[in-house]
Structure 1
Amino acid sequence: MLLLSLAAAFTGFWAGHPAYSQQKQSASLTKYVDPFIGTGFHGHVFVGANVPFGAVQLGPSNISQGWDWCSGYHISDSTIVGFQHTHLSGTGIGDLGDISFMPTTGPIKVFKGTAKDMQSGYVSTFSHQQETARPGYYAVQLNRYHIGVRLTTTQRVGFHEYTFPKSDQAHILIDLEEGLGWDTPVKTAIKQVNDTTVTGFRYSKGWAKDQRIYFTAVFSKPIKTFAVYDSTAAKTGMALEGEKVKGVLSFTTTAGEKVYVKVGISPVSTANAMANIKAELPGWNFNQTVATADAAWNKELQKVQLKTTDEDKKRIFYTAFYHTMIAPSTFNDHNGDYWGTDKKVHSKAGFTNLTTFSLWDTYRAANPLYTVLQPERVNDMISSMLAIYQQQGSLPMWHLMGNETNTMVGYSAVPIVVDAYLKGFKGFDAKLAYEAVKATAMRDEMGTKYVKNLGYIPADSTVESVAMGLEYAIDDWSIAQMAKKMGNMADYQYFSKRGKNYQNYFDKQTHFMRGRVSATEWRTPFSPFVSRHRKDDYTEGNAWQYTWLVPQDVEGLIALQGGEQPFIKKLDSLFIAKGSIGAEGSPDISGLIGQYAHGNEPSHHITYLYAYAGQPWKTAEKVRYILKNFYTSKHDGIIGNEDVGQMSSWYVFSALGFYPVNPANGLYVFGSPLFDEVNLKLPGGKTMHMVAHNNTDQNIYIQRIMLNGKSYTKSYISHADLMQGGELVFEMGSKPNLNWGKTLQDRPYSAKP
């Protein structure tokens, strides 16, 4: 019935679009998603089975450790140490990898082994030719044991299928020691409840300092014997608690026998983990669960329908769209219970609690994208952030599994909350939201006391002072807009002034943003090319990249550079400047065009700044180059860390033809639409039908635009107009229309007067 209802919904959605009326719109789009895109180079993407924004990310982890294995998997590797129920996707730090299951045969081994001595442990090799991944599904053959593995999930339950050979020594190892990256166990426990059920928990510390996850595993085949181990030493009994507990379930299997395991996870208790299984996966139909997961992904992917003759571009687009929906991840039980940042259980919350908030990355494009394509989830995201505020006294910075990691700079939840409020989302407490954004900005931590007292952060007081100060200015500007709409003019004036603090980092002699030691002295020596990873005035960047980090007041930045022509000249020079970033530069600085670094987030809005100076055609050139060269369908097809959806959100927006330069003013600046025809499914049964006539790899320049049959001369579109739906028609050409978007009244703006 689910598949039939989805098909009916999609048919109804398309009924009003003649251009598509002859097509069968129930065809699944998941076939275009390739989860292996981004598994090479530094993409760090998750590979495995999950559902959109699910609590479970069930997939393999390699034996290798290191920066390129932050997600546990890299395409260069061919080893597996287990199938774990939590993974990060695209981060620059490794963590999670909780509740590891590994099927084996032969003598019991409970140490995973090493890359140099795999035979001493239980690790197995595999071939990528015998590996399959698609949305909601993963399969692989373990060479060492001749065991076939298939995985799928519901929201909070991992579903394993193991096809064993004939063996009287068939095992399933549950390794609670195993984790990824910085993660190490602190306290673990395992217990056999009956002949088909095992429960336990894993407390660990890592990037997130105090992680707690509970599990209940139900097996389709009665357990023949159960043994417990503290690390590698066997213990007697059916239960064990310790630092590095492991359990081994043994069976006798016939050739080709399938053993199924349902693993519910919970941030609260093993009882809730079992309740999650009963609510989400009461039966044992593996193939139906795969189909249900596929339908869940297809429902999301169908929100964007593309028409193009280039199938490769479809694969890149839908894979990027898929990557935007791995996180934020669900962090509550089916009954609403969750574990808070205050280390307390919060029962039956009235919203879906979420975690994995990589906000310094995602406030730029991923969160604005959610307001367009995931509006039904935005209120839960904001409510989760407000709950964190109530529990820890400030909005989250980089929230992970009930922990504040305090990673990156700025208080980047602020523009996300403000953007949702200004766009009219009503499913959260607006009064509490304003209290939260203001309280977060008025602390005396991480340089904010200097912001309040001096208007800048002295470079000799802390590292990354320029990056901090520029991010704070964006956030403070956002608070000012919320205060204004609420009628709080005193706060509007105060935070507007703080939003101008970026000016205090601008050196009129060099025309770069740089570290200031005092009101009269700059930090020396200075080079705009220098980037010393986490040791200088910038965060994963240099002065070339950070000089443009003023999306909240581009007009003010133009004035600082001396006007439109000097601004354009300086912006042009960014893309051709040559100089070494240095041996100590951040590995995140990748995807270089001159000193523009697309592989890291501070650069993401820069190509669209030309529109503010009346030259949107230059945006088209740069955007099309990036779309073509920095996003491909190969394993190394993402030019930097995926960063929990931000890298892919840039692609999704830009391929559609526009981008949110300012993260909280509700405007999308036009660039160069990639597809001939697009339909966006919007709330309330509305659609935005977008057509790009004469669109080719050469015809990259917008000549003119029609909106609902009328000439539209602006080089941007508002969120309100976009969400009304209708038809947006682009006329494309091979040469720039130098008059399109040139006049002041047609340019994007930072804030209405």
Structure 2
Amino acid sequence: MCKHILKLFTILLSGLFIQCSSPLSPADYTTFVNPYIGSDGHGHVFVGANVPFGAVQLGPNNEREEWDWCSGYHFSDSLLIGFAHTHLSGTGIGDLGDILFMPVSGNFQSKKDSATNYPWISKYTHEDEIVKPGYYSLKINRYNILAELTATERVGFHKYNYKATGNSQLIIDLEYGTGWDAVTQTQLRQTGDNSICGSRFSTGWAKNQQLFFYTEFSKKIKTLDILSSDKKTGINTVLIEFEGNGELLAKTSISPTSIEGAKNNMQTELNHWDFEATKGLANSKWNTELSKIKVTTENPRDKKIFYTSLYHTMFVPSLYNDSNADYRGTDREIKKNPGHNTYTTFSLWDTYRAAHPLYTIYQPDRVNDMVNSMLDIYHQQGKLPVWHLHGNETNTMVGNHAIPVIVDAYLKGFREFDAEDAFEAMKRSALLQERGLNFLQTSEYIPADSMIESVAIALEYAIDDWCIAAMAKKLNKTADFELFSKRAEYYKHYFDRKAQFMRGKMADGTWRTPFDPVASKHRDDDYCEGNAWQYSWLVPHDVEGLIQLIGGDKAFTARLDSLFSTEQKLNEGASVDISGLIGMYAQGNEPGHHIPYLYAYAGEQWKTAQKINFILNNMYFDTPNGLSGNEDCGQMSAWYVFSSLGFYPVNPAKGMYVFGSPLFDNATIQLPGNKTFEIKTVNRNRINIYIQKIKLNGTPYFKSYINHSDIVNGGTLEITMGSTPNKYFGTDMGNRPNSAY
């Protein structure tokens, strides 16, 4: 009898231990991530192995070189050409894809033919893949090889298990680069019994990218054969052979400065051969960052989308310095340790809206370094970054959106950068005689017959100017405040009261005709990846001013209603970026991300709740085609993270978050100093989507927004939800969000 009781007790203890230590335990937040989300459709996300904000993004590459393959990989594909060490995520232009590795075995034929530039290509299925944060594996059926990948910040770690008979072989291709760039110069040489090094210089989106690498193998190199080379560029492809089959490990470190820098990066970050330990550390790094926001819900779908979204916000900006902090500047010169980490891949037209404000909450330790990286770029190229990529200014997209990122950081109390230097950088960047700024300084608007995308450009500049004015006021720079606060209102020149749209205005002051608010061509009209319906709301810095232009609160909300309900269709040939449509509202592209929150400025927050709840549940999915547009370096996901928590930064530099409709029962944000900010919802479910009342730290709270300081000071926000709108919530003028400096 006692033996049976002891046995039962042992079983119960074992079950309890398994439950507590199971990989599915809530303590491992990486298990809630589905890296495939956004890899199908037009999401363009990176799939592979990396660590948060790491320089290395090691993952699979397909042969196709079309728009949906900007990241080098697309879920619809089934042809592998190898594993590259750098990738973009969610962009609308491709680049990178540097240093391609492909393990092969004896049936490999090296000669290229008309069918493919990659004769080593192999078919695969998703059943042969395993994808987790910090880890990727694929069974390469053609060669009977199991490939596994993981990474540190600057080192890609490969593990290949060759199961076919004969020697192990590995192709290294320096010519490949996601189809958008062209190699200009390469070098590759053997440096020891089991090591090689080299470099790849290329021109593409980044006009002068320079990448150096150093590789060590766990076996001695038997032979190294050059498969292709070019007199102008150098060695393109090599085949390395190792004795026997079985396991081969390869570590490749990268550097923007030199081969010696790459070698030092490996010695600093990965001076051992323990693949499992490295994989575990990568997982731990992801878990640490993901666990900074803990959400509770009975809906596994929502949880998976949330943590995948949070995961996607940490691909970029990516590190662009060696482990000793040296980096290559925009002036192409090597810069010694500036005293901070240097970042690159600033997709600012996208990420200034929500991704960077999100970092100020859950990645505050990186914010100062990001700002200092932008200021270094300013000193090297004479202006703040526009869209910066691996030491190159691409000048892609419109606006000067390093400005709101810097001002947002400063107004929120970040002080580990020179404020006077930052202000001077913003002011000079805004007063340049380029990219339409010259017209603003002479005519107060950009004539539509002077350059394309004039409306989009000017509206984005007005946001930047508001930000400069806000910082000028904080720094007691009266003249600068007066200048830039005036420029922040130049958006009014574009509003046609009769048509109720922002329109292109000609040099003679007349409206451009003919006018069709639905019309939109890719980079060939007055807007940028949008049309008049979307751009007529791009005034997040002065919503009250826009309300006045439209005719007051009721006219404003009625006009907003029409945006979401119009049955007009996009014209043939419209920009593919106008996606995720609800009426003519486009969730799939960034310029409209703030629009559903504008109802709160007119005292109808309940309509914001209605729209946000619909978007959360109908525009984001836990499937490969789970995004309604390009991920755009984390912005599409940052919108979801903010909105699912229950608020959003309409004006990204104001430090004010407008309430929407929270998705979770509970959310806890970990803050510095062991503080937390907890968001509790009462009576929340799929029907109860409207805010009834709010308490902040136990005290009734009547505003339809919350300030950044309230969040980072820590505390508890309790939101009671209901199935019908409380139309009095946030109605009073004093309780509405505002645009005051």
Does 1:549 find its partner at 2:538? Answer: yes
Aligned to 1:197, which of 176, 195, 205? 195
Match 1:418 to one of 374, 387, 407? 407
SS in 2 for 1:516: coil
1:165 maps to which residue?
163
Q: Which runs of 5+ in 1 are unaligned?
A: 1-23, 234-239
1:518 matches 2:486: no
The residue number in structure 2 matching 1:363 is 352
The one-letter amino acid paired with 1:658 is F
CA drift of 1:427 comes to 1.0
The residue aligned with 1:43 is: 43
TM-score, normalising length: structure 2: 0.95
Cα shift at 1:458:
0.2
Question: Displacement of 1:77 after TM fit?
Answer: 0.4
Which residue pairs with 2:238 in the alignment? 247
The one-character-per-residue Cα deviations of 1:407-429 (angstroms, maximum 9, x if unpaired) are: 00000111111111111101111
- Give the alignment partner of residue 529 of structure 1, picking from 486, 493, 518: 518
Match runs of 1:28-67 below 5 Å: 28-67=28-67
Gaps of 5+ in 2: 1-23
The answer on 1:308 being equivalent to 2:297 is: yes
Separation in 1, partners of 2:475, 2:437: 24
Q: Secondary structure at the match of 1:650?
A: helix
| Separation in 2, partners of 1:615, 1:36 | 37
Query: Any conservation in 2 of the 1:185–1:244 contact (CA below 8 Å)?
Result: no
Query: RMSD value over aligned CA atoms?
Result: 1.5
Are 1:709 and 2:698 counterparts?
A: yes
How far the C-alpha of 1:583 sits from its partner, in A, is: 2.3
1:79 aligns to what?
79
Amino acid at match of 1:51: V
Instruction: State the Cα distance separating 1:580 from its structure 2 match.
Output: 2.6
Which shifted more, 646-655 or 125-134? Answer: 125-134
Instruction: Tell me: CA distance 1:111–1:86, structure 2 relative to 1, closer, same or farther (3 Å).
Output: farther
Residue 229 (structure 1) shift: 3.5
CA distance in 2, matches of 1:433, 1:31: 40
CA distance in 2, matches of 1:230, 1:123: 16
Distance, in Å, in 2 between the alignment partners of 1:610 and 1:349 is: 45
Matched-pair contact (CA < 8 Å) for 1:94–1:182? yes
| Residue deviations 1:245-266 (CA, integer Å, cap 9, x gap) | 2221102323xx1100000000
Query: Post-superposition shift, 1:170?
Result: 2.4
Secondary structure at 2:243 match in 1: strand
The count of aligned residue pairs is 719
Query: Secondary structure of 1:261's partner?
Result: strand
1:673-692, aligned counterparts within 5 Å?
A: 673-692=662-681
Whole-angstrom distance in 2 between the partners of 1:253 and 1:740: 72
From 656, 661, 668, the counterpart of 1:667? 656
**Deviations 1:230-277 (Å, cap 9, x if unpaired)?**
34x8xxxxxx983452221102323xx110000000001111111111
Alignment of 1:183-194 (within 5 A): 183-194=181-192
The whole-number CA distance in structure 1 between the counterparts of 2:449 and 2:63 is 42
> Does the 8 A contact of 1:675 with 1:692 survive in 2?
yes
Q: Tell me whether 206-215 or 243-252 shows the greater mean CA deviation.
A: 243-252
Q: What does residue 88 of structure 2 align with?
A: 88
Distance 1:588 1:263 in 2: 36
**Corresponding residue of 1:568:** 557
Matches within 5 A, 1:310-459: 310-459=299-448
User: How big is the shift at 1:63?
Assistant: 1.0
C-alpha contact 1:190 1:241 (8 A) present in aligned 2 = no
Q: In the TM superposition, what is the alpha-carbon distance from 1:657 to its structure 2 partner?
A: 0.1
Among 609, 615, 618, which residue is 2:598 paired with? 609
CA drift at 1:625: 0.6
Cα gap change, 1:274 to 1:165, in 2 (>3 Å): same
Residue 652 of structure 1 is matched in structure 2 by 641
For residues 111 and 736 of structure 1, the distance between their equivalents in structure 2, rounded to whole angstroms, comes to: 68
Whole-angstrom distance in 2 between the partners of 1:508 and 1:702: 34
Q: Give deviations 1:96-130, integer Å, cap 9, x for gaps.
A: 0000001001255456767x558x70111111101
Alignment of 1:264-283 (within 5 A): 264-283=253-272
Q: Which residue of 2 aligns with 1:220?
A: 218
Does the residue aligned with 1:186 lie in a helix, a strand or coil? strand
Contact 1:112-1:122 within 8 A present in 2 as well:
no
* Superposition pairs of residues 478-497 of structure 1, within 5 angstroms: 478-497=467-486
Percent identity at matched positions?
Answer: 54
Could you tell me whether the CA contact under 8 Å between 2:155 and 2:253 is conserved in 1?
Answer: yes
Contact 2:226 2:235 in 1 (8 A): no
**CA pair 112-329 structure 1, distance change in 2 beyond 3 A:** farther
Deviations 1:161-187 (A, max 9, x none): 000024334211110001113111000
Separation in 2 of the partners of 1:263 and 1:555?
54
Report the AA paired with residue 528 of structure 2: T
Q: Distance in 1 between matches of 2:421 and 2:627?
A: 38
Query: Alpha-carbon deviations, 1:524-579, whole Å to 9, x = none?
Result: 00011000110000000000000000000000000000111111111110001122
Aligned partner of 2:21 in structure 1 is none
Matches of 1:505 and 1:638 in 2, distance apart? Answer: 32
Instruction: Provide the secondary structure at the position in 2 that maps to 1:122.
Output: coil
Give the deviation of 1:452 after TM superposition: 0.8
Instruction: Give 1:248's aligned amino acid.
Output: L
What is the rounded CA distance, in whole Å, between the counterparts of 1:89 and 1:410 in structure 2? 21
Deviations 1:333-379 (A, max 9, x none): 00111011011000122111000000000000000000001000000
3-state SS, counterpart of residue 253 of structure 1: coil
Amino acid of the residue matched to residue 475 of structure 1?
Answer: D
* Structure 2 CA distance for aligned equivalents of residues 348 and 128 of structure 1: 43
| 1:105-144 alignment, distance < 5 Å | 105-106=105-106, 109-110=109-110, 116=115, 121-144=119-142
